[in-house]
Amino acid sequence: MRFILFIALIIVLMLAFRMFAGRLQSLLKTLQHKQPGTGGSHQNHPGEAMVRCAHCGIHLPRSEAYTSQGQTWCSEEHARLGHK
């Protein structure tokens, strides 16, 4: 009799754990979609302007680019080398 009660308790605990884990997962997905930059809606979140390196052509955020002689560069090395 104790063995049957023990098995029943284990089954109930497993079901409760699965329900809790499912709700937690759906809550995390909901929170993740509300944060900007995590794959959610981008309608109200304008991105940073992208610029192109005058040497290698790579695109990078304006805040990370080097500006010299009216041109944008991805690194100080490429600014020193100039146009390709």
Rounded mean pLDDT, 10-32? 91
Q: What is the pLDDT confidence band of residue 11, given thresholds at 50, 70 and 90?
A: very high
pTM: 0.44
Phi and psi angles of residue 70, each rounded to the nearest 5 degrees, phi first: 75, 10
Q: How many angstroms from the chain centroid is the CA of residue 20?
A: 25
Domain ranges of the chain: 1-33, 48-84
pLDDT by residue (tens digit) across 29-76? 888 777 665 454 445 556 889 999 999 999 999 999 989 888 999 999
- pLDDT reported for residue 1: 87
Which of the 8 DSSP states describes residue 1?
-
CB 72 within 8 A of CB 52: yes
- pLDDT reported for residue 35: 64
Q: Is the predicted pLDDT of residue 84 greater than 60, yes or no?
A: yes
